[in-house]
Structure 1
């Protein structure tokens, strides 16, 4: 609720990040830093089976955590359902998705869902996303780490919102 209230107070559509089992504290810290840099309204992390806010996260965020709301939730899938009822779209990052980042309208109330290292999005969280989105890749490597993929998606959402402003 606080995350949506912050967006409303700024008269902006929500831009949130949800992390599904991201366990590396450096990925969490880097995503907090990027989310704050692009003006996101907050980050959602599960209470269990995920990195929490630690001194390493605080250091990696380079102070950004002081300016970004972090919500810990007991059930990420339920949180996505709650956000859906508030007309916030859940877009999960998945390499095998048919739609690419260029094909999806990111200028809307949005939560970008980033999967954990190695396994990506869990089936339950994936099933609760409104759509899945891939980041096209040209080289021999077919995936990016969670912080890089999430940062690319956040930057694309920010750019889409900037283009949509009068």
Structure 2
């Protein structure tokens, strides 16, 4: 094992220690994503058992079913790193696991933004009508994009003292 060396972030850790830290960070972020999407999926799954569900238009029913499939897909995708970890356990592939998990988490965040805004669109459509549903759904999507993409990119581009290129470490 090599002695810890300073990384671009000023940390004194080996490559293995950095991968271990990155993996633990990704696990925490995936737990948050899983919890949020699973709660939303649970909410969506209760809707057919409500009296008013039978009054949905065919378009609303289609949107609803699309959201249920998307919620299930995000939940399944967010669990993929766990499955990969089990399959790669004790195979010294933490670098591959971190890389794959990072990509999966980004995909989950994109899909979650669509899921959240789509759910808001459906609720507003049922309660106040489709035009307002689209407006509020688009506003939620744009706000999510600004917070999840715009703000971090701005921070990345204006970072002081951090590694050039803004790598995850």
**TM > 0.5:** no
TM-score category (smaller protein): under 0.3
**TM-score, normalised via structure 1 length:** 0.26
**TM-score, normalised via structure 2 length:** 0.25
Q: Going by fraction, where is helix more abundant, 1 or 2? A: 2
Larger radius of gyration: 2
